[in-house]
């Protein structure tokens, strides 16, 4: 570990922290329908959309109607992506003449992009036409991110409102997320990326003669526009197979910093939106604090693990001072690779700049743990916030009893109904992950995709099922997942991890909104300050982590001890 | 506290609990507790595995021991519940004895003619006659007469109380005994639904329903158990990938140690013990819901008289009118009070002696006639020969003096007003037609009450004083007692409106009351404590009844409610935190055969995989027994603000829960290894 490495990590954290409050203020105004500096231009556009769609933006919905609208919208999105991929061969903007995508891969990819997972069983430049990248995948990048943001705001309203039946209007929240937040930021970011050297073209791939005289095909395409939303919307689906390790998808250290910051920007700002909407910004900072503590612990562990050398390599005479550079871009090195790996898995993004499969056992375990904790360390845009609020409900319920009152969080009493729905929501991801892993580890079809045997092979499967259920989308590599078995299994995991959680979560929002607010007093358990930060972090670790203890033991933990002992499989 | 710890070890309670705990193993009863039901299912599975091993002739010692400890885990849980119920049962039996074979004298006509019928045959609306020595046959209202009644069967208080028709002391309870005079009672509750019946059902726990918070906690625990079902059922296929197998007996052991058995086992005992703590305080909660609500209370409405101030006022000063010597006034006041047995009267005698050296005199030699206080004259006094000495409320004495042709000095109004402003009650004293002055009767704020209110404030609870006094007097007493606010010249309607207003702001309100006119407010309050001495209407409206009729108890009731919730939270936190150590005991034992380097995870250095698993299961069972006293007594509780409480409890039960099992399992493992049983 180097001072320089730590400074890069510190710089990243400082920028994210500095952005959280101003961006949070802006988002709060947008969702409240108040005027912002973008309104003179965009307000007529927004009204135009409502007029076209026949939406009355002031008509609010109860949680059921909100959920139905959200599900219907996502179902339509799924069908459009699936159709576009299957019919790719017949659709325009296909200069490489790619054929239609196979049914299982199209199913997997459509689910993947609708659920904001962006798990890719395919290599972009060898499978997807420019048209598919643009109208199927990039569009869905916006829509799935906006869906997550809308849902988070709906849950916040549940906490903020008193004795209300409605939690907002899905169509309005969705439109505003895209129109005022995602689109303007992405336009700016895409231009920035282009300026840094990211391609943005509809020209066919370029063929070049190398120095040895061989032909080399250089893949191009509308990369910058997809890259912008891929990061900002925590989608993570790469334009190229190598994702952000590809020089065209991540041309420089500065571009890398911009990408890292844009992964966390909206998620961190939403904690501030929460604080503002419930009328006490400290509540938001406490949540960000718990996220930040878990994040820094993860970064420190991965950085430490990767800066150390592989003992097996060292025994063979390799200089241990270089650390573990296997599978890493030399341009980014160990500190940034470690930082990026933690960011992308903490935030449900899934973009990568290094191969996590090649990390040391512990270095690869932390990204898995990040996802297994429920993607609540900043998390996916929106999804991270509603996830962490569910954990906050559990934390407050368990520990809040210890102050001798019916537990309450930001003035809302947490009672049987909320506990039931919250537990239901929190069950989804472990169920999807562990059951899928259980099936895969005894099925010849599942094992067929493995590159490694022994604990590391188990880690590859664990990572894949975790990534799907947590809607992260990053891959450990090593597992060849483009088979009907894995495509269908992971698609099921992604669906459960997203929608089976959202519905009870919205019900919590509805139930909370209907309650009155309890004014705080000296007898109320204060949900800001270090005590709550520690408590929330502890509950996330214990409730989220204990579930995966056996699986992690047989995967990365066994891997780590075996590596230390010089055992290979 | 000492009485309590003694009773916990009382063999008279433990012996029957051992038996009824066995009955509670019935799965139909146990299913109400999902966590312990799961343990029982697992115990059955372990027993089957044991039989299989026995037949196969290998490994039976290990699976046999595990099965025994799993059964013990369930048994310890049902034992804790049975023990908690035992206390109530003993009390219920005593109550039941008083109910048996009462004969009622049902009035038949207009005269006092009656027929004897069995008490259970009485119907609501029947009129009965109760004479000295009779047990009152059912709950009712005195419609005629006054009697002293021994209510010790219900309150445990041996001093008799007065019950009379009209007013706020008209309610009588079935099973209590009339000592003197006879009364006519209208029956207000049918047999089987009387106060005594409800009380028996309550203390026995027969009607015990889970409270809202208990239900929520049960759901949380069931949810956690489900997560651990997922974590365990998937292990065999993970192990299969890793080239081995995990015996089912080990899996069930892991599952039982992971699910929150500690809190799951003690949950209902905590709830019953909470109700029992109230009963020991002589407070009956009509539902567990009310006890929980007590912990949440934000505002306490306290009646001034009897709660904040002593029930009586005391003479503090003699304020003579100009031209009258203080000793002259004191002498007259003392004479007027010699036969006055009220606390106010006695305090005047005492003050006269202390301030002016006037000794109390015998009244007989003075040829005096004592004039007692009456509601019509609102005065009391004494006639010595032709001299009439009177003391009483200002307007009453003024009217009396005017009637005798006396003059009212101008200064009197000033003095009366000054006394009222300072929170006192002016008592005007006159000899014949001459007004001598004023006795300053002071409300005495109870000792230590100010500190109690400070404690409550630290806990975030506001205190509101309710009084019929005028705002001036009320403000003075409120300031002296240190309450947060007051409602002066309170009418029942104003009280009700105040409760509604606080509730609209999201606050929970507690109050106590005894009169019929308190009933609407008692019903509206989230915690309404009716006094046992109160009217039937008040008792029906409240959700708690205080058998001692001590309004100060509201503060203790809030404490008991809080302690109940805290005990639940503490044991839940402890239970969940325990899982970390249990994983470190069982996981290496389970997987070390698959990957030998995983032995490094055996941080406790447990002797062998089998002893590690057995030790974890034994710890898991024994911790339930070890925590039974805590569950029954409740966690220690000192009033302070929420942040301080949370910090302390998180440290004790969260951190303690992380560390304790590491030590406990290690110690048990050393024992298991030394005995060579695994």
- Residue A189 in any domain: the answer is yes
Least confident of A279-293, B47-61, B187-201, B631-645: B187-201
Q: Is residue A317 one of the residues assigned to a domain?
A: no
For testing the chain A interface, which of B209, B211, B232, B234 should be mutated: the one with the most A CBs within 10 Å? B234
Could you say which of B462, B601, B646 has the minimum Cβ distance to residue A402? B646
What is the rounded CA–CA span in Å between residue B172 and residue A506? 53
Mean pLDDT to the nearest integer, B63-79: 95
Alpha-carbon gap, residue B305 to B467, rounded angstroms = 8
Rounded Cα–Cα distance for residues A569 and B72 (Å): 43
Alpha helices, H only, A401-519:
416-442, 444-447, 454-469, 484-495, 501-513
- Read off the pLDDT of residues B132-158 as tens digits, 9 standing for 90 and up: 888 888 888 888 888 888 877 776 666
Q: Which residue of B has its CA nearest to A564?
A: B597
Question: Residue A540 has what pLDDT?
Answer: 92
pLDDT digits (tens, 9 = 90+) for A356-410: 999 999 999 999 999 999 899 999 999 999 999 999 999 999 878 888 888 889 9
Are A457 and A446 a contacting pair, CB within 8 Å?
no
Q: How confident is the model at residue A50 (pLDDT cuts 50, 70, 90)?
A: very high
Tokens coding B565: 């919730």
The answer to the question of whether B391 is labelled as a binding residue is yes
* Comparison of pLDDT for B660 and B281, the residue scoring more: B660
Give the integer Cα–Cα distance in Å for B301 and B554.
Answer: 9
**pLDDT at residue B354, rounded to an integer:** 87
The pLDDT of residue B363 is 62
How far out from the chain centre does Cα A425 lie?
17
Q: How far apart are CA B653 and CA B549, in angstroms?
A: 37
* pLDDT at position A62: 95
- Mean pLDDT, range A80-92, rounded to an integer: 95
By mean pLDDT, which of A95-109, A408-422, B366-380 is the weakest?
Answer: B366-380
DSSP B297: -
The percent of residues above 90 in pLDDT, for chain A, comes to 76
User: How is residue A518 annotated by DSSP?
Assistant: P
CA distance B376 to B374: 5
A191-195, B182-186, B620-624: least confidently modelled range: B182-186
Q: Is B255 annotated as a binding residue?
A: no
pLDDT, chain A, mean: 92
Give residue-wise pLDDT tens across range B352-365.
888 887 776 666 66
Residue B387 pLDDT = 85
pLDDT of residue B653 exceeding 70 = yes
Contact A399 B231 (CB under 8 A): no
- The stretch B623-644 carries a mean pLDDT of 89
B180 and B132 in contact (C-beta within 8 Å)?
A: yes
* Average pLDDT, integer, range B455-460: 82
Integer-rounded Cα Rg, in Å, for chain B is 33
Task: Give CA angle at B438 (B435, B440), nearest 5°.
Answer: 170
Is the pLDDT at B283 greater than 90? The verdict is no
Is residue B437 predicted with pLDDT exceeding 70? Answer: yes
Query: Comparing A172-181, A541-550, B233-242, which segment has the lowest mean pLDDT?
Result: A541-550
- Give the single-character DSSP code of B308: I
pLDDT at B3: 38
* Distance (Å, whole) CA A141 – CA B104: 83
pLDDT digits (tens, 9 = 90+) for B518-556: 788 888 999 998 887 777 777 788 888 887 777 778 888
Residues paired with residue B509 on neighbouring β-strands, in sequence order: B299
Please tell me which of B372-376, B379-383, B560-564 the model is most confident about, judged by mean pLDDT: B560-564
pLDDT higher than threshold 90 for residue B41: yes
Residue-level pLDDT at B9: 58
Q: What is the mean pLDDT of residues A158-173?
A: 94
Residue B458 has pLDDT above 90, yes or no: no
Instruction: Give the end-to-end CA distance of chain A in Å, rounded to a whole number.
Output: 29
Least confident interval from A70-79, A251-260, A316-325: A316-325
- What is B296-308+446-547's CATH number? 3.40.50.1000
Q: What is the mean pLDDT of residues A417-428?
A: 94
From chain B, the residues in CB contact with A536 under 8 A are: none
Chain A residues near residue B460 by CB distance under 8 angstroms: 521-524
Q: Which residue of B has its CA nearest to A524?
A: B642
CB contact under 8 A, A438 and B460: no
Torsion sign (Cα): B138, B141, B142, B144: negative
Q: Residue B378, annotated ligand binder?
A: yes
Instruction: Transcribe B190-218 into DSSP letters.
Output: -TTSSHHHHHHHHHHTTT----HHHHHHH
Asked whether residue B273 carries a pLDDT value surpassing 80, the answer given is: yes
- According to the model, what pLDDT value does residue B296 have? 86
Q: For residue B362, what pLDDT is reported? A: 66
Q: Residue B5: what pLDDT?
A: 39
Residue A522: inside a domain: no
- Confidence label for B40 from pLDDT (cuts 50, 70 and 90): very high
Helix (H) or strand (E) holding B671: helix B656-675
Burial state string for B416-441 with b = 16 or more CB within 10 A and e = fewer than 16: beebbeebbbbbbbbbeebbbbbbbb
What SS3 state is found at B434?
strand
pLDDT at A468 over 80: yes
- What would the mean pLDDT of A486-511 be, rounded to a whole number? 96
Q: Which of A113-122, A174-183, A345-354, B368-377 has the lowest mean pLDDT?
A: B368-377
Chains A and B form CB pairs within 8 A to the count of 222
Q: Contact, B224 vs A543, CB < 8 A?
A: yes
B303 is catalytic: yes
From A253's Cα to the closest Cα of chain B, the distance in A is 40
Q: Nearest chain B Cα to A436, which residue?
A: B234
Contact between residue A154 and residue A513 where contact means Cβ atoms under 8 Å apart: no
Number of domains in chain A: 1
Which residue in chain B has the smallest CA separation from A561? B597
**ipTM field:** 0.92
Q: What is the pLDDT of residue B108?
A: 81
Nearest to B572 among A401, A519, A525 (CB): A401
Q: What are phi and psi of B344, to 5 degrees?
A: -65, -45
Residues whose CB falls within 8 Å of the CB of residue B325, separated by 6 or more in sequence, listed in order: none
Q: What is the mean pLDDT of chain B?
A: 85
Determine, for residues B597 and A405 on separate chains, whether the beta-carbon distance falls below 8 Å.
no
In this predicted structure, the answer to whether residue A12 has a pLDDT above a threshold of 90 is yes
Closest C-alpha among B373, B370, B392, B372 to residue B382: B370
SS (H, E, C) B486-538: EECCCCHHHHHHHHHHHHHCCCCEEEEECCHHHHHHHHHCCEEEEECCCCHHH
Q: Check CB contact under 8 Å for B641 and A399.
A: no
pLDDT at B176: 83
The CATH class of B312-444 is alpha beta
Q: How confident is the model at residue A143 (pLDDT cuts 50, 70, 90)?
A: very high
What are the boundaries of each domain within chain B?
Answer: 11-90+203-280+565-675, 123-190, 296-308+446-547, 312-444
Place of tokens 């005990």: B567
At B2 the pLDDT is 35
B216 contacts on A by Cβ (under 8 Å): 397, 414-416, 418-420
Chain B residues near residue A542 by CB distance under 8 angstroms: 576-577, 579-580
Structural domain including A40 reads 20-207+215-279
Of A154 and B555, the structure prediction assigns the larger pLDDT to A154
pLDDT over 70 for what percent of chain B? 94
Out of B226, B565, B646, name the one closest to residue A427 (CB).
B226
Identify any residues that bridge with B529 across adjacent strands, giving them in sequence order: B512, B544
Q: Is B374 annotated as a binding residue?
A: yes
- pLDDT for B344 beyond 70: yes
Q: Which of the four pLDDT bands, split at 50, 70 and 90, describes residue B467?
A: confident
Provide the pLDDT confidence category of residue B507 given band limits of 50, 70 and 90.
confident
| pLDDT tens column, A520-543 | 877 788 898 898 999 999 999 988
**Residue B99's pLDDT is what?**
63
Interstrand relation of B509-513 and B299-303 (parallel, antiparallel or unpaired): parallel
Q: What gap in Å lies between CA B552 and CA B561, rounded to an integer? A: 15
Q: Is pLDDT of B407 > 80?
A: yes
Asked if the domains B123-190 and B312-444 are classified in one and the same CATH topology, the answer is: no
- Structure token pair of residue B488: 């002066």
Contacts with B588 (C-beta within 8 Å, 6 or more apart), sequence order:
B598, B599, B600, B601, B602, B609, B612
User: Is residue B581 marked as binding?
Assistant: no
Please check whether residue A73 is in contact with residue A174, taking contact to mean a CB–CB distance below 8 angstroms: yes
User: Residue A72: pLDDT above 50?
Assistant: yes
Question: Please, are residues A236 and A472 in contact by the beta-carbon 8 Å criterion?
Answer: yes
Q: What is the pLDDT, as a whole number, of residue A353? A: 94
Least CB–CB distance from B646: residue in A399, A439, A550: A399
Instruction: Choose the weakest-confidence range: A212-216, A460-464, B419-423, B661-665.
Output: B419-423
Higher local confidence (pLDDT), B66 or B370:
B66
CATH class in words for B123-190: mainly beta
Q: Phi and psi for B37 in degrees, rounded to 5?
A: -60, -40
Question: B379 is written with which tokens?
Answer: 């005065």
């Amino acid at each position: 570990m180097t001072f320089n490495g730590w400074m890069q990590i510190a710089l990243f954290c400082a920028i994210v922290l500095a952005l959280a409050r101003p961006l949070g203020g802006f988002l709060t105004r947008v969702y409240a329908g108040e005027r912002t500096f973008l309104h003179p231009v965009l307000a007529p556009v927004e009204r135009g959309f409502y007029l076209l769609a026949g939406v009355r933006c002031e008509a609010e919905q109860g949680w059921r109607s909100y959920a139905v609208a959200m599900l219907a919208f996502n179902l339509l999105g799924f069908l459009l992506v699936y159709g576009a991929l299957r019919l790719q061969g017949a659709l325009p903007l296909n200069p490489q003449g790619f054929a239609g995508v196979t049914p299982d891969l199209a199913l997997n990819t459509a689910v993947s992009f609708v659920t904001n997972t962006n798990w890719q069983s395919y290599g972009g430049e060898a499978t997807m036409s420019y048209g598919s990248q643009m109208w199927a995948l990039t569009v869905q990048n916006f829509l799935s991110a906006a869906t997550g943001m809308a849902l988070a705001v709906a849950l916040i309203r549940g906490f903020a409102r008193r004795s209300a039946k409605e939690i907002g209007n899905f169509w309005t929240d969705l439109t505003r997320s895209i129109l005022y937040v995602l689109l303007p930021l992405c336009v700016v970011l895409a231009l920035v990326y282009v300026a840094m050297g990211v391609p943005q073209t509809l020209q066919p791939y370029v063929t070049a003669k190398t120095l040895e005289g061989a032909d080399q095909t250089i893949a191009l395409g509308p990369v910058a526009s997809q890259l912008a939303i891929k990061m900002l919307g925590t989608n993570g689906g790469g334009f190229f197979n190598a994702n952000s390790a590809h020089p065209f998808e991540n041309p420089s250290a500065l571009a890398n910093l911009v990408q890292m910051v844009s992964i966390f920007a909206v998620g961190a700002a939403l904690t501030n939106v929460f604080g503002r909407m419930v009328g006490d910004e400290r509540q938001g900072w406490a949540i960000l604090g718990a996220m930040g503590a878990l994040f820094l612990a993860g970064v420190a562990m991965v950085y430490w693990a990767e800066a150390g050398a592989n003992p097996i390599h060292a025994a063979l005479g390799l200089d241990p001072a270089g650390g573990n550079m296997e599978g890493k871009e030399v341009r980014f090195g160990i500190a940034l690779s470690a930082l990026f790996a933690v960011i992308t898995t903490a935030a449900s993004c899934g973009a990568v700049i290094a191969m996590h499969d090649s990390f040391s056992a512990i270095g690869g375990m932390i990204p898995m743990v990040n996802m297994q904790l429920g993607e609540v360390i900043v998390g996916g845009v929106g999804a991270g916030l509603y996830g962490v609020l569910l954990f906050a409900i559990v934390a407050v319920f368990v520990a809040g009893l210890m102050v001798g009152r019916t537990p309450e969080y930001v003035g809302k009493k947490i009672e049987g109904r909320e506990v039931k729905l919250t537990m239901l929501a929190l069950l989804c991801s472990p169920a999807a992950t562990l059951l899928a892993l259980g099936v895969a580890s005894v099925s010849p079809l599942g094992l067929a995709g493995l590159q490694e045997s022994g604990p590391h092979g188990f880690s590859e499967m664990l990572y894949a099922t975790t990534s799907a259920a947590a809607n992260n989308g990053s891959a450990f590599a090593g597992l060849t997942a483009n088979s009907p078995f894995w495509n269908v299994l992971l698609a099921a995991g992604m669906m459960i991890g997203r929608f089976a959680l959202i519905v009870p979560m919205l019900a919590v929002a509805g139930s909370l909104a209907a309650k009155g607010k309890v004014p705080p007093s000296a007898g109320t358990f204060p949900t800001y300050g270090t005590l709550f930060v520690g408590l929330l972090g502890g509950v996330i670790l214990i409730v989220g982590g204990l579930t995966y203890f056996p699986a992690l033991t047989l995967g990365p933990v066994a891997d780590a001890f075996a590596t230390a002992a010089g055992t290979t499989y | 506290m000492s009485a309590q710890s003694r009773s916990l070890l009382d063999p008279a309670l433990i012996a029957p609990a051992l038996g009824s705990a066995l009955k509670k193993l019935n799965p139909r009863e146990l299913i109400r507790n999902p966590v312990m039901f799961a343990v029982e299912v697992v115990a059955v599975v372990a027993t089957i595995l044991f039989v299989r091993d026995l037949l196969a002739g290998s490994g039976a010692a290990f699976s046999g021991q595990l099965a025994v400890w799993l059964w013990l885990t369930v048994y310890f849980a049902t034992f804790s519940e049975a023990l908690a119920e035992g206390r109530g049962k003993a009390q219920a039996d005593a109550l039941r004895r008083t109910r048996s074979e009462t004969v009622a004298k049902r009035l038949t006509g207009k005269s006092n003619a009656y027929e004897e019928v069995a008490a259970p045959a009485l119907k609501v609306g029947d009129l009965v006659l109760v004479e000295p020595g009779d047990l009152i046959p059912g709950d009712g209202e005195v419609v005629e007469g006054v009697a002293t009644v021994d209510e010790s069967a219900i309150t445990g208080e041996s001093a008799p109380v007065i019950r009379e028709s009209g007013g706020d002391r008209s309610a009588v309870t079935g099973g209590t005994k009339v000592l003197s005079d006879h009364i006519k009672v209208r029956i207000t509750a049918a047999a089987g639904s009387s106060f005594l019946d409800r009380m028996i059902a309550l203390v026995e726990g027969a009607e015990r329903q889970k409270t809202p918070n208990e239900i929520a906690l049960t759901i949380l625990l069931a949810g956690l158990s489900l997560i651990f079902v997922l974590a365990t059922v998937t292990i065999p296929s993970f192990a299969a990938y890793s080239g081995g197998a995990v015996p089912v007996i080990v899996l069930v052991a892991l599952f039982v140690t992971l699910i929150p058995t500690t809190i799951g086992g003690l949950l209902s005992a905590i709830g019953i013990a909470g109700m029992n703590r109230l009963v020991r305080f002589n407070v009956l909660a009509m539902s567990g819901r009310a006890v929980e609500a007590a912990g949440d209370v934000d505002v306490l409405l306290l009646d001034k008289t009897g709660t904040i101030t002593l029930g009586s006022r005391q003479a503090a000063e003699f304020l003579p009118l100009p031209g009258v010597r203080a000793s002259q006034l004191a002498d007259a006041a003392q004479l007027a009070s010699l036969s006055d047995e009220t606390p106010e009267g006695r305090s005047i005698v005492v003050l006269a002696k202390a301030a002016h050296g006037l000794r109390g005199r015998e009244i007989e030699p003075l040829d005096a006639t004592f004039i007692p206080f009456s509601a019509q004259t609102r005065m009391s006094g004494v006639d010595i020969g032709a001299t009439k000495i009177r003391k009483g409320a200002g307007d009453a004495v003024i009217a009396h003096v005017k009637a005798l042709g006396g003059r009212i000095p101008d200064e009197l109004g000033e003095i009366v007003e000054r006394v009222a402003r300072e929170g006192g009650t002016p008592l005007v004293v006159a000899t014949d037609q001459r007004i001598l002055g004023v006795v300053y009767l002071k409300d005495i704020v109870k000792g230590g009450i100010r500190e109690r209110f400070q404690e409550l404030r630290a806990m975030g609870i506001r205190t509101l004083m309710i009084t019929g006094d005028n705002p001036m007097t009320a403000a003075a007493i409120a300031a002296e007692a240190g309450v947060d606010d007051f409602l002066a010249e309170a009418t029942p309607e104003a009280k009700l409106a105040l409760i509604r207003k606080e509730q609209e702001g999201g606050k929970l309100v507690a109050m106590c009351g005894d009169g019929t006119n308190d009933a609407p407010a008692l019903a509206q309050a989230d915690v309404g404590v009716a006094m046992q001495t109160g009217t039937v209407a008040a008792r029906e409206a409240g959700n708690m009844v205080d058998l001692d009729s001590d309004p100060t108890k509201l503060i203790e009731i809030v404490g008991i409610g809080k302690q109940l919730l805290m005990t639940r939270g503490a044991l839940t936190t402890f239970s969940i935190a325990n899982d970390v150590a249990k994983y470190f005991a069982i996981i290496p034992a389970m997987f070390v055969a698959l990957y030998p380097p995983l032995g490094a995870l055996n941080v406790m250095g447990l002797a062998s995989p089998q002893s590690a698993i057995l030790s974890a299961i034994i710890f898991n069972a024994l911790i339930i027994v070890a925590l039974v006293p805590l569950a029954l007594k409740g966690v220690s509780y000192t009033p302070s603000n929420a942040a301080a409480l949370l910090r302390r409890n998180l440290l004790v039960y969260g951190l303690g829960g992380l560390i304790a099992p590491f030590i406990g399992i290690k110690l048990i493992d050393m024992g298991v290894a030394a005995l060579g049983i695994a």
